[in-house]
Structure 1
Amino acid sequence: MFATERMTLNMDERRTRFGLSLLLVAVTGVVSYALGALGWPPALQESMSQLRDRLPVAGSSLSGLQVERLEEVMRAIQGQYVEEVDVEALNVGALRGMVEALGDRYSTFFTPEEYRSFVEGFEPTFSGIGVTVEISQQTGLLTVVSPIKGSPGAKAGLRTGDAIIQVDGRDITGMSLNEAVALIKGPKGTQVRLLVKREGEPEPLEFVITRDTITVPVLDYRMIDQEAGIGYIQLFEFSKKGAASQVKEAIAELRSQGMTRLIFDVRQNPGGLLDEVVEIASFFLPTGDPVVHIVERAKEPRALTAKEAEKWTGPLVVLVDGGSASASEILAGAVKDAGVGTLIGAKTFGKGSVQTFWRLQDGSGIKLTTAKYLTAGGHSIDGQGVEPDIVVGNPNRIIPGEPGDPQLEAAVRHIREMEP
């Protein structure tokens, strides 16, 4: 039985994970027969029992021959491998390899420890350096997607696109995301030394960062031009339940302060929960308009539509960049396709899939891509991203919302020309 199931569009530590595959080798019939005649060692019986218990879904669909083949390989390794083997490592390797065989970088198997760490990503606080990372599809390196504003990582100078190649002198190239993140995280007050490759720098850069307790904010908002009535909401992620209610409260508060024009910033926002982005899009789209189309296996695409809500119908600019992913892209695509606002910034990340994750009986977990999505207008953004209406770069990598932010400045100039 699955104890926990959640759908996510997020891509921070929920993002790219590559497991360790199990290398299987052929065994002869003679060896198999001999092992069968002698019976299974107790440790192997326990191993196969654990493996079956962890496969509550697949167990009913595996044929007897498939189960026998798994058991045969396990018997061979347990009985014939030149060195003592770790039964749990065999179990985990088999399960990782099964998921890795899908060839999907967003699907993964978690050990109980990894699953606990993964779920922490949905909590409001954690201990670490405060950066969102992924395994880059282009380079295979652990890459910073976005530093959390005010975090130790941001203060130290880590930037979007930085590739972390060493942690405390240990080469992490080729590691899974789970392994690498486990090395970077640690108790508050301890230090971690990172070696980073940065585009345009001839040599790797070294950062020594003191870990801290990170409180992940959902959003920030303020009036940035009282005279012109320009309000600003910066949404950091869609991953916390209640993100939509906080956006609603922010809009109401800014309205009370005289807002007649709204800049909504999802730059460096890695995504989050599907229901939250639908709720937030409902503030801007007419009720009943499509927000996103979900495409599941062997099913017709289904549209999730904007709900009844207190609507914002004034001038709207949505700021996007290469760190805007998944749920951020759904919102940007919906606004663009509905023609209710202007997108300004840079092309978005390009993640067009939905993941569902479960806690298994023993505390381990699994995350699978269970659907693809299309934007409100029926466009796939997977690997392509959403193009802004007005392209504005950020060559000096100014942190979004900070003084000198060229994309925000462009948004202010543009929205001033829009009639409330």
Structure 2
Amino acid sequence: MTAKTVKTVTAGLAVLLAAACTASTPPRTLPGATATGGPAVCDRPRGNPAPETPTTIDVVEQAYFCILAEYYSGATLDARTLLGAGFVAFTQELIRDGHDLPDATMPALTGDRKADWAAFEKVYRRVTDQLPDDAGLRKKLAAATLQAIVDSLGDNHARWQHGEQRPPDYYDGDQYGLGLRANAGPQVAGNPGTALAPLFVTVVAGGPAKAAGLRPGDVIESINGSAPFIGEAVIAAAVAALYPRYPEAGPVRLRVLRPDTGRHRTVTLKPGLYQPDPATTQLVTSKLLKDDIAYVKLGGFAPDAADRVFKEISRLRSGRTLTGLVLDLRGNGGGSPDEANRLLGAFAHGKVTAYQCAVDGTCETMRTDDTVALLNLPLTVLTDRGCASACEHFSSAVKDLGLGRLIGTRTAGVVSGPAQPYLLSDNTLLGFPSQHHLAPNREVIDRVGVAPDFYVPPTPRDAATGRDPALAKALTLLHK
């Protein structure tokens, strides 16, 4: 990439959707029609999408039929749940904008997908025809309706990707946000069980957090005036504010406690673009530990991740005999399942690593990449609640196949299935799985996560002092 390449997506699912934009699958005609009589099309993206245009009810229709045709359980899904959620969001947006109308009443739905859409659209258009001639309001109503339909799937790999274009001066090395990470990640909104009290800073990557003097170990007592936990229950919306999405983000007010001094203070961080500390953004880092044990940290399963890991291990192996490997997957948000299979191929051959299953129970097997040479090293893997998606694919295979031992905390439970992208007519991307993931023993780990063999949770004091009890446990196991 050139230095001024504009990034349109951030990480995790957004990366997968963008990467898949090179697909050239021909469009599929779906049941249903647009208001102009043309077919609703579920189109796979080709190249980078053109600039976005306003979202309309026709785009909502396209997304509705696309989900019913291509989503994992689309064939058996009661479409009334989609339309019900969409209409709730539509009316709530009307109320917020002071335009509630008597005609904004949910139509009777029968379970006939086409007829129900026609009834929904008729009411929608009748209501919006009575509104002021305000293009922004109409776009907001359609966007709220579409977002609610996607959210009603309750699938952590279903997403409508829109409104995320970065400004022209956005550099590849820049990041956007507050410049910190905590022991609860952005996936908390979809799976509140991924967060455990107390909430504390684990990494200061740069930007606003660094400028404000925040440090690892600082306990976050409130976010915009809201406690992140009430008892043991996480307030997901509060925690999600630590990971603002571009461009709809404002200042975030944090009250923090520094445990070693007992000092409380309040800081206001304004999200923005910043140049991060390179040490916090490297995809792969490595070092040699005591007794010739290799340590490799992998931040994500990018398209070349496995080969980069192999390169680091080869470098550490030069001139010595390695006695073991610690693979640190903490905070690894996932990526390509093919890269997970390639990395697993370094520890076993001829093994099933996962199953991708249709709603009727038929499954496709995913296997180790047996073109990879075996490393023949004892393996320990460090996991936490930030290990999601392809990271969980890898971790569950390590555990089920007996390839090594997991140390740390349970993984995120965000692994419903690989998302497939579809281009909507407003040039936004709709992504969701066509199959669902099962681990090698055919267990469901989505929403459950993968439990470690040795539970070693982090603490604020560990973060503040740089101690790493999970790594210490891994070294103890490898020395046995």
TM-score for both structures, normalised by structure 2:
0.62
Say which of 422, 430, 451 aligns to 1:358: 422
In the alignment, does 2:266 pair up with 1:206?
Answer: yes
1:347-386 residue pairs with structure 2 within 5 A? Answer: 347-356=410-419, 357-386=421-450
Match of 1:305 in 2: 367
Deviations, residues 192-230 of structure 1 (Å, cap 9, x unaligned) = 5432689x9x999634447512363211101012xx111
In the alignment, does 2:246 pair up with 1:195?
Answer: no
Match of 2:285 in 1: 220
**How far apart in 2 are the matches of 1:309 and 1:146?**
38
RMSD: 4.4
After TM superposition, give the deviation of residue 376 of structure 1 in Å: 1.9
After TM superposition, give the deviation of residue 176 of structure 1 in Å: 12
* Residues 338 and 363 (structure 1), Cα distance of their counterparts in 2 relative to 1, 3 Å cut: same
CA contact (8 A) 1:351 1:383 kept: yes
Say which of 329, 337, 356 aligns to 1:274: 337
* Residues 179 and 298 (structure 1), Cα distance of their counterparts in 2 relative to 1, 3 Å cut: farther
CA contact (8 A) 1:12 1:270 kept: no
**How far apart in 2 are the matches of 1:70 and 1:255?**
64
**Counterpart of 1:104 in structure 2: which amino acid?**
D
CA contact (8 A) 1:133 1:145 kept: no
CA contact (8 A) 1:145 1:160 kept: yes
Say which of 219, 223, 230 aligns to 1:165: 223
**How far apart in 1 are the matches of 2:407 and 2:252?**
36
Match of 1:138 in 2: 192
After TM superposition, give the deviation of residue 257 of structure 1 in Å: 4.7
1:18-37 residue pairs with structure 2 within 5 A? Answer: none
CA contact (8 A) 1:288 1:306 kept: yes
**Counterpart of 1:72 in structure 2: which amino acid?**
K
* Residues 164 and 380 (structure 1), Cα distance of their counterparts in 2 relative to 1, 3 Å cut: farther
* Residues 414 and 47 (structure 1), Cα distance of their counterparts in 2 relative to 1, 3 Å cut: closer
SS at match of 2:125: helix
After TM superposition, give the deviation of residue 249 of structure 1 in Å: 0.7
**Counterpart of 2:122 in structure 1: which amino acid?**
E
SS at match of 1:293: strand
**How far apart in 2 are the matches of 1:277 and 1:250?**
17
SS at match of 2:462: coil
SS at match of 1:354: coil
* Residues 83 and 140 (structure 1), Cα distance of their counterparts in 2 relative to 1, 3 Å cut: farther
**How far apart in 2 are the matches of 1:341 and 1:59?**
40
Match of 1:108 in 2: 159
In the alignment, does 2:399 pair up with 1:336?
Answer: yes
**How far apart in 2 are the matches of 1:80 and 1:179?**
39
**How far apart in 2 are the matches of 1:175 and 1:319?**
27
**How far apart in 2 are the matches of 1:147 and 1:360?**
38
* Residues 100 and 345 (structure 1), Cα distance of their counterparts in 2 relative to 1, 3 Å cut: closer
**How far apart in 1 are the matches of 2:194 and 2:457?**
25
Say which of 55, 66, 85 aligns to 1:57: 66
CA contact (8 A) 2:283 2:299 kept: yes
**How far apart in 2 are the matches of 1:60 and 1:378?**
26
SS at match of 1:206: strand
**How far apart in 2 are the matches of 1:304 and 1:369?**
16
Match of 1:283 in 2: 346
Deviations, residues 290-312 of structure 1 (Å, cap 9, x unaligned) = 11122233351222111120111
CA contact (8 A) 2:194 2:385 kept: no
Match of 1:237 in 2: 300
After TM superposition, give the deviation of residue 274 of structure 1 in Å: 1.5
Deviations, residues 4-40 of structure 1 (Å, cap 9, x unaligned) = xxxx99469989xxxxxxxxxxxxxxxxxxxxxxxxx
**How far apart in 2 are the matches of 1:197 and 1:13?**
32
**How far apart in 1 are the matches of 2:247 and 2:255?**
13
1:67-146 residue pairs with structure 2 within 5 A? Answer: 67-81=117-131, 86-111=137-162, 113-114=163-164, 116=165, 125-130=174-179, 131=181, 132-136=185-189, 137-138=191-192
CA contact (8 A) 2:412 2:449 kept: yes
After TM superposition, give the deviation of residue 231 of structure 1 in Å: 0.8
Match of 1:404 in 2: 467
TM-score for both structures, normalised by structure 1:
0.70
**How far apart in 2 are the matches of 1:140 and 1:128?**
21
* Residues 109 and 54 (structure 1), Cα distance of their counterparts in 2 relative to 1, 3 Å cut: same
* Residues 384 and 82 (structure 1), Cα distance of their counterparts in 2 relative to 1, 3 Å cut: same
CA contact (8 A) 1:13 1:134 kept: no
| Count of residue pairs the alignment pairs up | 359
Deviations, residues 155-191 of structure 1 (Å, cap 9, x unaligned) = 7236799687329xxxx985996997236888xxxx9
**How far apart in 1 are the matches of 2:438 and 2:300?**
20
After TM superposition, give the deviation of residue 390 of structure 1 in Å: 2.4
* Residues 160 and 220 (structure 1), Cα distance of their counterparts in 2 relative to 1, 3 Å cut: farther
After TM superposition, give the deviation of residue 318 of structure 1 in Å: 1.1
1:3-14 residue pairs with structure 2 within 5 A? Answer: 10=12
Greater Cα shift, 350-359 or 325-334? 350-359
**How far apart in 1 are the matches of 2:223 and 2:361?**
42
After TM superposition, give the deviation of residue 243 of structure 1 in Å: 1.1
**Counterpart of 1:91 in structure 2: which amino acid?**
A
After TM superposition, give the deviation of residue 262 of structure 1 in Å: 0.9
CA contact (8 A) 1:13 1:177 kept: no
After TM superposition, give the deviation of residue 125 of structure 1 in Å: 4.4
Q: Percent of pairs identical after alignment? A: 21
SS at match of 2:175: strand
